Structure 1
Amino acid sequence: MSKAFFYFPLVLGVFAFSNVSAQITALHAKIDSIARDARGTVGFAMLNIESRDTLSYHGNMHLPMQSVMKFPIAITVLHDIDEGQFTLNQLIHIDKSDLPKTYSPLRDKYPEGNVDISISELLSYMVSLSDNNACDILLKTLGGPEVVDQYMHSFGIKQIAVKASEFQMAQGWDVQFTNWVEPKTMVRLLDIATKPNFLSKASHDYLWKIMEATSTGPNQIKDLLPVGTIVAHKTGRSGTNDQGISAATNDIGLITLPNGKHLAIAIMITNSTADLTTRESVIARIAKAAYDDAILK
């Protein structure tokens, strides 16, 4: 059944939705109200994988990904494994020079480097723990950020840009904005990645295993959902500059609903002057509003 889209200007942006109803209108109003607390720009998109119901708020904006980019990087690595370029068990030698000072549980464990780590373990560090050095080691193995960018574009994920490594982003505030995505595009990528024929079964299963194992951002999408709700997600967060502006506080992923259906969701906050607790609360409350709406359908 085809979906018609209607656009209604609100105080903070534009909503696009698949049908007009009191329930949907109430969800729009709730997201709009919550988003004001961020004191910045909130981008949101969701898609019920099975019913195809959609909703977006600032869904076409180019918003900085920060570590959310590790999700498309992981997909690209697994694609190359399926193409025979690498294997999950393949060992990558890591020197101390591969481990600059940054957020890196990998570096904490092997501060002197000189160790061989499997690609599967690097993927786990990168996605589940959001390890910056594991990310850049995998980008180097792939051939650079441009390989991820080109692969995304090759299967229709056009409104995304992967241009800089974690190390490069750390060199200047503006660099992080070169890695961007539209929330609607990120939800589309989540949708594509759920399809069993997109990657091999082994790669598909491993991707969602490490997404589900994500330990970062416990106060974001997962925070207000019922205990035990399965959430496979990837977070991304920038620092705060001298003007008190935080460029990115993000969480994207797949929520399993009580009826067994799945809600793909992307919540991204940029240029916010609110503190971290407030930004995380905005994400948590929007996720809970979307979840509550989905389980009523």
Structure 2
Amino acid sequence: MRKLLFIIIYLSFISPAFAGGNKAIENALQEYIKGKDARIGIAIIINGKDTVSVNGNRDFPMMSVVKFPLALTVANWVDTNNMSLSDTVTFSGKSLKEDTYSPMLKKYGKSRNAMTVRELLEWSLVESDNNAADILLNCVGGVSGATSKMRQIGISDEIVIGASEEDMHRDPYLSYLNRTTPLAMAQLFDRFNNEMRNASQSYSEISVMLKQCRTGLDRLALPLLPTNATIGHKTGTGFPTPRSHISSK
């Protein structure tokens, strides 16, 4: 079963020992992936300017990494409508699908039909809850509304939201509609950390949530956990299909 894997790394600083060693890093990564039965894309941005990539301009499905650009569209929706993350969103029991990953549903069942925007973002980003993500997607006008807001805030058209979590669970191949290049996503994280997170309270709180993310701790974040590094991340896991298994970090 062939795998698709893309990895995004943003480093706000790096040891001087690596300065000028970008080509060596890239060569080491190329050597590592050689012969792997997978299509692998990697993008690394160091100090906001130095870039290393492998297949960095190729499309990869985002899986739950999509919840990061989605959260940015929610922040835009909140800010441009003079709202706050404390405002309440109401939803029906039909919005809470049982056949999807939803720790929110497991905790509350279908008894709750209202939450603050902040709560829904926390469930979506920290716990990677699929129901919370789809409720937020509906708030910003679905796929078309999210796309419009992404472009308004200058998110690259190489980052595409084309399907909801419900869509992807109905047909796993629709996950390919939510796609990005590793470089585009690395650049978005870089821009978010250096610029967007300071633009409003909404974006600032998203930054905190990324640092609290509880999913994917056994993946890209694992080697950094024993250090003093501050880790903000969003990991995605794909659907096994006859053709492939998809993971994104």
- Shorter-chain TM-score bucket reads 0.7 to 0.9
> Shift of the alpha carbon at 1:124?
0.5
Give CA deviations for 1:173-226 in whole Å, capped at 9, x if unaligned: 220101100111111111221234666331232011000000101121111125
Q: How many residues align?
A: 228
- Alignment-derived partner of residue 230 in structure 1: 230
Report the Cα distance in structure 1 between the residues aligned to 2:80 and 2:164, rounded to whole angstroms: 23
Structure 1's consecutive aligned runs of 4 or more residues displaced over 3 angstroms after TM superposition are 195-201
CA positional deviation for 1:85: 5.1
Question: Which residue of structure 1 aligns with residue 193 of structure 2?
Answer: 194
The 1:218–1:156 alpha-carbon spacing in structure 2 relative to 1, beyond 3 Å, is closer
Distance 1:164 1:85, change over 3 A: farther
Q: 1:64 matched to which residue of 2?
A: 61
Q: Partner letter of residue 136 of structure 2?
A: L
Answer yes or no: is the 8 Å Cα contact 1:99–1:113 preserved in 2: no
Is 1:23 matched with 2:21?
yes
Mapped pair 1:170 → 2:166 = no
| Residue matched to 1:153 | 151
DSSP 3-state at the match of 1:160: coil
For structure 2, the residue ranges without an aligned partner over 5 or more in a row are: 1-18
> Share of identical aligned residues, percent?
26
Task: Give unmatched runs, 5+ long, in structure 1.
Answer: 1-20, 252-297
Amino acid in the other structure paired with 1:128: V
RMSD over aligned Cα, in angstroms?
Answer: 2.0
CA distance 1:225–1:160, change in 2 (3 Å): same
Deviation (angstroms), 1:156? 4.9
Given the alignment of the two structures, is residue 113 of structure 1 paired with residue 76 of structure 2, yes or no?
no
CA distance in 2, matches of 1:198, 1:230: 15
Q: Report the residue type matching 1:173 in the other structure.
A: P
Tell me if the contact between 1:149 and 1:160 (Cα under 8 Å) persists in the aligned partners.
Answer: no
d(CA) in 2 for partners of 1:60, 1:41:
13
Give 1:42's aligned residue: 40
Alignment of 1:200-215 (within 5 A): 200-215=199-214
Supply the distance in 2 between the matched residues of 1:47 and 1:22 (Cα, whole angstroms). Answer: 13
- CA distance, structure 1, for counterparts of residue 189 and residue 178 of structure 2: 17
- Note if contact 2:103-2:129 (Cα within 8 Å) is conserved in structure 1: yes
Letter aligned with residue 59 of structure 1: G
| 2:121 counterpart residue number | 123
